[in-house]
Amino acid sequence: METISINRSFGGTQGVYKHASTATGTEMTFAVYLPPQAEAPGAKLPILWYLSGLTCTHANVMEKGEYRRACAELGIIFICPDTSPRGDDVPDDGGYDFGKGAGFYVDATQAPWSQNFQMYSYITEELPGIIADNFPADMARQSITGHSMGGHGALTIALKNPGVFRSVSAFAPIASPLNCPWGHKALGGYLGVDQAGWRAYDSIALIEDGARLPEILVDQGAADNFLVEQLKPELLQAACEKAGIALTLRMQPGYDHSYYFISSFMDDHVRWHGARLI
């Protein structure tokens, strides 16, 4: 692991790091905020993962997310992975919603994507190992959140790994890739045309097939341009009601899909997770 930068912030440190990934076959960059409590001898602190959306890298939430004050107060490590493999040899697509910057947190099975686009394994297996080996992280106390494509990632990863995360939340998640254009393009390209294989990466399908979480917090901007066609929070609400999952869905009037929206409610989410990471 190589350190790219370290900056002091709210008494803690905001770091950016890179390493050679065996999952993706590329160098991967990620950011970690260590609160001031991390400097105490023998400290082991809880973790909040943040998965970013389409076109983003680790830097978007790091620079615009406004999470550090709450994390410093509560003693939470905040981890920001990238959204896809990068590099000149990595296959790409001309659109913003597929290829680089759009890994969709799946393990691709279709050529040429399968060689590098193993983001599910990277997020659930490889990067947690890097974190455990290099930071004062209590791996028994993890929570996860994310935005848009990253909200989809947070929901599906938590549903597929029961007991790993103390809590899960999302900002404007893609609730059901099976039922939106972004999902059809991404899952069709990465996994092939058989939609039966897509169900493992669709939160609604996972709930229908028996996966459960105790509770979920979702904030959704009511003025989000992608709300009707791509995000469909009503599908998540219906699935949770049927399955007995306690979903708190907060429709926020006037808010769009941007980091103006995310940063407005980030403090709420960090504190909500913090109460469950004690």
Is residue 224 part of the annotated active site? The answer reads yes
Q: For position 132, what pLDDT does the model report?
A: 98
pTM for the model stands at 0.97
Point out the catalytic residue in the list 21, 219, 224, 269. Answer: 224
Q: For position 204, what pLDDT does the model report?
A: 98
Is residue 257 part of the annotated active site? The answer reads yes
Is residue 152 part of the annotated active site? The answer reads no
Domain count, the chain: 1
Cα 231 to chain centroid, rounded: 15
Q: For position 171, what pLDDT does the model report?
A: 98
Point out the catalytic residue in the list 58, 147, 152, 257. Answer: 257
Instruction: Give the Cα separation of 40 and 53 in Å (integer).
Output: 34
Domain that holds residue 58: 2-277
- Residue 99 falls in which region: left (phi positive, over 0), alpha (psi -120 to 50) or beta: left
Tens digit of pLDDT per residue, the chain (278 long)? 999 999 999 999 999 999 999 999 999 999 999 999 999 999 999 999 999 999 999 999 999 999 999 999 999 999 999 999 999 999 999 999 999 999 999 999 999 999 999 999 999 999 999 999 999 999 999 999 999 999 999 999 999 999 999 999 999 999 999 999 999 999 999 999 999 999 999 999 999 999 999 999 999 999 999 999 999 999 999 999 999 999 999 999 999 999 999 999 999 999 999 999 98
Instruction: Give the Cα separation of 177 and 231 in Å (integer).
Output: 9
Supply φ then ψ for residue 151, to 5 degrees. Answer: -65, -40
Q: For position 180, what pLDDT does the model report?
A: 98
Point out the catalytic residue in the list 52, 84, 143, 148. Answer: 148
Which amino acid type is present at position 61? V
Core vs surface per residue 232-250: b (16+ CB within 10 A) or e: bbebbbebbeeeebebeee
Q: For position 120, what pLDDT does the model report?
A: 98
Can you give the CATH number for the domain in which 130 is found? Answer: 3.40.50.1820
